[in-house]
């Protein structure tokens, strides 16, 4: 694996980890906010139900009330209890029995439960205030609200965050590869890279290149006039000694120079 690829993979792995962590934290916080808002809306709906119920106690006519409550598809059941007596009940599922201690206070109570099919819902008890009667913990309304709207909203948020994260990772990948291209450009030879010797007719037997002549070995160009080296069209910055060494090696491609020959030619 080349240094460029190793660099790109390492940077992209860090970026993916960071994006994943931030996405998970944001989704957790967003989920808590949505759950709190749904809880407040559920209590408010139970309060409205409790405010409307006393108007129908005397007439014992619950059609209008239940028609209003069950317009929403997430209502599983609704019940009105006055002085411990069940006055009206309607629902898609049976109203579960109360747990011991549920009627010990006048404060609204909200608990999460599940139906026999495994659907999660809120079971809400809200105090019922009847004009002319003293408050009693045995007077209340009960409302069952499905959590499916909240779950759908959470799934939508998760999908949106996942799409944004994927776009961010894709953009990070493009930027990382561009940065790797700039840091590890092609004019830097990889360790172990070898060059094939030029065909015999293009080799010069013993004489070095003449002044003013450009010697080419594949994409390597030695400009003897300007004392410059070009690789794949890009200039390679070299010191004078490095230039002389490359010029010597390029003068006879494929030949192995001895230490003495290199020292005599470059460091004479």
Those residues with Cβ within 8 angstroms of residue 60's Cβ, 6 or more apart along the chain or in another chain: 87
| Per-residue model confidence as pLDDT tens for the chain (268 residues) | 788 888 889 999 999 999 999 999 999 999 999 999 999 999 999 999 998 888 888 777 888 888 888 888 899 999 999 888 899 999 989 998 887 777 767 789 999 999 988 999 999 999 988 776 767 788 899 999 999 999 999 999 999 999 999 999 999 999 998 988 888 865 444 434 444 544 544 444 444 444 334 444 457 888 888 888 888 888 888 888 888 888 888 888 888 888 888 888 788 7
Q: Are 110 and 47 in contact (CB under 8 A)?
A: no
- pLDDT reported for residue 126: 92
Q: Do 93 and 99 touch, CB atoms closer than 8 A?
A: no
Cα–Cα distance, 137 to 105 (Å, whole number): 6
φ, ψ dihedrals at 154, nearest 5°: -65, -40
Parallel, antiparallel, or unpaired for β 214-217 and 140-146? Answer: unpaired
Which of 127, 167, 125 has the alpha carbon at shortest distance from 16? 167
Q: Are strands 140-146 and 120-127 parallel, antiparallel or unpaired?
A: antiparallel
Alpha-carbon distances, residue 199 vs 203, 219, 231, 240, 252 (angstroms): 7, 14, 19, 29, 11
Element (H, E) at 140: strand 140-146
Measuring CA to CA, how many Å separate 69 from each of 48, 107, 124? 9, 22, 14
Per-residue pLDDT at 104: 66
Which residues, at least 6 apart from 222, have a Cβ–Cβ distance to it below 8 Å?
A: 209, 214, 215, 229, 246, 247, 250
Give the Cα separation of 168 and 15 in Å (integer).
9
**CA nearest neighbour of 120 among 152, 154, 146, 153:** 146
pTM reported for the whole predicted model = 0.61
Q: What is the pLDDT of residues 14-46, one digit of tens each?
A: 999 999 999 999 999 999 999 999 999 999 999
Cβ 43 vs Cβ 108: under 8 Å: yes
What is the pLDDT, as a whole number, of residue 195? 46
Phi, psi of 227 (to 5 degrees): 55, 50
Q: pLDDT digits over 79-122, tens only?
A: 999 888 899 999 989 998 887 777 767 789 999 999 988 999 99
């Amino acid at each position: 694996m080349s240094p460029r690829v190793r660099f790109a993979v390492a940077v992209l792995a860090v970026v993916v980890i960071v994006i994943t962590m931030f996405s998970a934290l944001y989704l957790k916080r967003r989920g808590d906010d949505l759950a709190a808002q749904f809880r407040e809306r559920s209590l408010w709906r139970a309060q409205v139900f409790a405010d409307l119920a006393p108007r129908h106690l005397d007439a014992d006519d619950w059609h209008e009330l239940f028609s209003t409550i069950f317009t929403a598809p997430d209502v599983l059941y609704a019940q009105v209890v006055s002085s411990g007596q069940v006055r009206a009940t309607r629902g898609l599922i049976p109203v579960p029995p109360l747990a011991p201690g549920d009627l010990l206070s006048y404060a609204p109570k909200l608990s999460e439960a599940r139906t026999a099919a495994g659907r999660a819902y809120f079971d809400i008890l809200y105090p019922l205030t009847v004009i002319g009667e003293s408050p009693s913990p045995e007077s209340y309304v009960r409302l069952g609200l499905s959590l499916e709207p909240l779950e759908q909203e959470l799934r939508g948020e998760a999908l949106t965050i996942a799409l944004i994260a994927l776009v961010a990772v894709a953009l990070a990948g493009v930027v990382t590869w561009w940065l790797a291209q700039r840091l590890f450009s092609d004019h830097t030879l990889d360790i172990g890279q070898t060059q094939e010797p030029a065909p015999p007719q293009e080799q010069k037997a013993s004489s070095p290149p003449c002044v003013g002549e450009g010697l080419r070995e594949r994409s390597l160009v030695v400009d003897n006039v300007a004392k410059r080296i070009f690789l794949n069209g890009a200039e390679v910055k070299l010191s004078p000694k490095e230039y002389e060494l490359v010029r010597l090696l390029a003068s006879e491609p494929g030949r192995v120079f001895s230490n003495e020959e290199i020292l005599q030619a470059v460091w004479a």
